[in-house]
Amino acid sequence: MHVFIAGASGFVGTALSRFLLDAGTTVTGVGRSRTHPFESVPAFTWLSADTTQAGPWQTAVAEADAVVNLTGCTIFKRWTRGYKARMVDSRIRTTGNIVEAMKGGHQRLLSTSAVGYYGSRGDEDLTEDSAPGDDFLARLAVDWEQTARQAGEKGVRVSIMRFGVVLGAGGGALARMLPAFRRFAGGPLGSGRQWFAWIHLADVLAGIQYLLDGETAAGIYNFCAPQTVRQKDFASRLGDALGRPAWLPAPSPALKLVLGEVAQVLLASQKVHPRQLLAEHFPFRFGDLDRALADLVRRP
């Protein structure tokens, strides 16, 4: 199989490239970085390009058996008007360019979305059939998914992956959290009562492989662990894994003052369940938070 990865130089994209190459898959990656750590690997081709713009990189999309779309600039920056436009373009315009380049037939598209699709919903149980929220990130996710689904008009089998917070060693959200906890300054965000949707990077990679291999896999999939936890419980258990206390909360007003509108992401409550993956008997390797954290962090 030949897999094209958009956003192959990001945290998940780099890990997925390694994962697929180790499985014997031919991979073409594209992203803004000038270089890629795997560009010397014979089965890997690196394309440095701005995917919000049409260009020669789209030829590789047409030639691939499957496309995994992981693009989207980080949401963890202050949301100025200009940066919001960049958030939109990096997702919507890139996805539109990918869809335009796909030729259909046997091809399949796995396109990223996020649990931000649901907005902040308190204690409501959320599955793939739940309605979207109405904040900025929710509206962005709706448009992002609708753009990806247009590939279905070409006969492409489309799967939408709504990611929770991806926990992996060496990068991503966990790398942002660990320094504070190791300095004895970790703790819950806001009230800590908000539900926290998370997933181990290993299960993200295995889930993507599952969708690539499945002959009928299509539609919406919540990529989050089956064990749902409140944010204060997550903080406490991360502290336990590190042998550190988790007693220093970050009050909501302080988060909003420092981070601006992006604070709503950290304070949102999303009790998301991976109903579709469970219904299809996907074998989560790290469905339990304590086991996941034990695998990812070490006591000092």
Could you tell me the residue ranges of all domains in the chain?
2-167+198-224
- Predicted structure pTM score: 0.95
Quick check: 249 pLDDT over 90? no
CA distance 126 to 195: 11
**Closest to 113 in 3D by CA, of 62, 160, 61:** 160
3-state secondary structure of 285: coil
Instruction: Tell me which fold the domain 2-167+198-224 belongs to.
Output: Rossmann fold (3.40.50)
Q: With H, G, I as helix, E, B as strand and everything else as coil, classify residue 3.
A: strand
Q: Summarize the confidence of residues 57-86 as an average pLDDT.
A: 95
pLDDT band at 260 (very low <50, low <70, confident <90, very high): confident
Q: How high is the pLDDT of residue 80?
A: 94
In terms of pLDDT, which residue wins out, 99 or 217? 99
Compute the C-alpha angle 79/80/83, nearest 5°: 75
Calpha distance 278→284 (Å, rounded): 9
Length of the chain counted residue by residue: 300
Rounded average pLDDT over 70-92: 94
What distance in Å separates the CA atoms of residue 6 and residue 94, rounded to the nearest whole number?
9
Compute the average pLDDT of residues 145-168.
97
Is residue 5 packed enough to be buried (19+ CB in 10 Å), middle (13-18) or exposed (0-12)? buried
Indicate if the pLDDT at residue 211 is higher than 80: yes
When pLDDT is cut at 50, 70 and 90, the band that residue 261 belongs to is confident
How confident is residue 299, by pLDDT bands cut at 50, 70 and 90?
low
High-pLDDT (> 90) share of the chain, %: 81
The edge-to-edge listing of strands for the beta sheet with 198-200 is: 171-171, 165-168, 198-200
Helix (H, G, I), strand (E, B) or coil at 179: helix
d(CA 118, CA 141): 9
Instruction: Over range 50-59, report the average pLDDT.
Output: 97
pLDDT of residue 256: 84
Instruction: Please state which of the ranges 104-113, 219-228, 242-251, 288-297 shows the lowest mean pLDDT.
Output: 242-251
Assigned token pair, 68: 């995994």
Determine the pLDDT at residue 300: 53
The chain-wide mean pLDDT, for the chain, equals 94
